[in-house]
Amino acid sequence: MRLHHVQVACPPGGEAEARRFCAGALGMTEVEKSTALEARGGCWFRAYDASGEVAAELHVGVEEPFRPAAKAHPAFVVDDVAEVAARLRAGGYAVDESQRTTFPGYLRLHTFDGHGNRVEVLQPA
């Protein structure tokens, strides 16, 4: 078994903020949704490894009523957590590094997207 994607929610009309966070701050690539699912709104993003293989996929779906995920969260492994932290801060997102060394084998940070969904970013130590 392997994980195909993780889905988080945004409020109606929240796609632009999802793009700003996922593509801009996290550095993911937006990919087209299937024609059958386009009408539902939302947007999809992928991250690729050095060989060009898909390393992570995040789907942002529209949910009404919307309630951000304050505890449940995706966690992305990156090569340079400091670089991602800098992009997050440059985008105006809060970066919490108070638990930086509390996950064995990794350095990490937590942040929240523009809709209030929690996101974790890890780097192998």
Read off the pLDDT of residues 35-71 as tens digits, 9 standing for 90 and up: 999 999 999 999 999 999 999 999 999 999 999 999 9
Q: Give the structural domain span for 116.
A: 6-124
DSSP code of 64?
A: S
Answer whether residue 63 is part of any domain: yes
Answer whether residue 15 is part of any domain: yes
Domain with residue 31: its CATH number is 3.10.180.10
Domain count, the chain: 1
Answer whether residue 95 is part of any domain: yes
At 51 the pLDDT is 96
pTM of the model: 0.95
Distance CA 36, CA 109 (A): 36
Q: Rounded to whole angstroms, what are the CA distances from 18 to 42, 46, 99, 104, 123?
A: 8, 13, 25, 30, 23
Q: Which residue has the tokens 């340079």?
A: 80
At 91 the pLDDT is 97
Q: Which of 83, 67, 69, 66 is nearest to 25 (CA)?
A: 83
Answer whether residue 1 is part of any domain: no
